[in-house]
Amino acid sequence: MKRLTTLLLAAALAGSTLSAVPAAADPAAQAAPVRYEAEDALISQGVVEQNHTGFTGSGFVNYDNPAVGDGSAATDWSVAMVESTMARYSPGSIGGWSYPVGLYLYGQYLVYQRTHDARYLSYIKSYVDRFVDSSGNIGQSFNNLDSMQAGRLLNILHHETGQPRYKKAAQKIRTRLNTYPRTSEGGFWHSTSDSRRSQLWADGVYMVNPFLVEYGKEFGDSTYASNEATKQLAVYGKHLQVANGLLKHAWDESRDASWSNPQTGLAPEHWCRAIGWYSMAIVNVLDAVPADHPRRTELLTLLRNLAAGIEKYQDPATGRWFQVVDKGSRPDNWTETSCSSMFTFALSRSVQQGYVDAHYAQVAQRGYQGVLAKVSLGGDGRTNLTEISIGTNVGNYSYYINRERRTNDFHGLGAFLIMNEQLRAR
């Protein structure tokens, strides 16, 4: 990617004039606070407010066919989703420093890389600059893995602008890892809080390891980054993956958590998005580390076993995956959009990279069509993505099944963009 100069980016920011968008009723614009997965929707890092201003473009540009705006097969759903989200939320109202927003904006960056629409990058920069001052200070303690995910945006902005403040902010996360608490085998605790001590959550590998390998590449720290990221995936995989190839949501080394099995320390269920986080993280890390890395074979084995489990439990009727992945036969279970996007991305990318057998491309295509069935254009011309689970703690079957299903939740929007940029031309 060609590096943008600071001057050009500033010009793009100045040119991205805010204008009024239609004030029609928009349920998604009245979303609840952005919540941490790890804190069971109890920690809010900035409320997403109702917003009636956004970047120009209450409609959207279709880069394949600019005349398309009716939801036809030629619609560029990535562009449509980014334009819709920027119209709903300004960079100041989209939410606080959090992983759901970070995930979405990473997906928006992928769309920027393809379309080269400077407004998309300018929006990301405006969001990050709320938290990083001109000297690179960032008011985050990074005492849980969730808070590190949006650090990917710091790597991106340093790469695109060359501004040293983004490096300084990213270095705070990297330095925090030196003292961050670990299990006896070196796995990062999900959080330093007393209620998360000694726990590995499958979610956590995505929150830190893609950031870490990208940090290593951007700032010349790849040896440490590759070794640490592969170690984390291996330790997590050792404890969370079971015979069916899937991962349990979490593991408690201390066995103190109410959900942990006294013998194994494992959580009781295979929650779909936790597995989705792991699936995307292991692909991202394999893409980044050297081909001869000593843990590569171990990670490939974990990924191939996981791919087999994902294929086994795909819903044959919809192509999607269930909220509790291995219990799709239960009448109260339901297919969840964010994890279905994550699995679809991971399988497609793994086939492309030669990590898994080529037949998984067909599994990914079924998943892709299943997710596309959940996206549509509303009467206001904006996208709606449905059946997305809100942020979730570790729990039992009933807990997962009864989680709120939201439209346009950032978990789903980000996962969709990552998936769509991988599969849209394939």
Active site residues: 203
DSSP string computed for 326-364: T-TTSTT--EEHHHHHHHHHHHHHHHHHTSS-TTHHHHH
Contact 367, 321 (CB under 8 A): yes
What are the residues whose beta carbons fall under 8 Å from the beta carbon of 78, sequence distance 6 or more?
Answer: 107, 110, 111, 114, 417, 420, 421, 424
- Residues 247-281, buried b or exposed e (16+ Cβ, 10 A)? bbbbbbbeeebebbeeeebbbbbbbbbbbbbbbbb
CA 305 vs. chain centroid, Å, equals 22
In degrees rounded to 5, what are phi and psi of residue 265?
80, 0
Tokens of 41: 């929707």
Phi-psi region of 87 (alpha: psi -120 to 50; beta: other; left: phi over 0): alpha
Q: Three-state SS for 199?
A: strand
Contact 121, 112 (CB under 8 A): yes
Written in H, E and C, the secondary structure of 200-244 is EECCHHHHHHHHHHHHHHHHCCHHHHHHHHHHHHHHHHHHHECCC
Handedness of CA 405, 408, 409, 412 (dihedral sign): positive
Q: Closest Cα to residue 1, out of 144, 101, 116, 86? A: 116
Contact 403, 323 (CB under 8 A): yes
Contact 234, 309 (CB under 8 A): no
Tokens of 88: 């709903």
Q: Could you report how far apart the first and last alpha carbons of the chain are, in Å?
A: 22
Contact 309, 244 (CB under 8 A): yes
Q: What is the rounded radius of gyration, in angstroms, for the C-alpha atoms of the chain?
A: 20
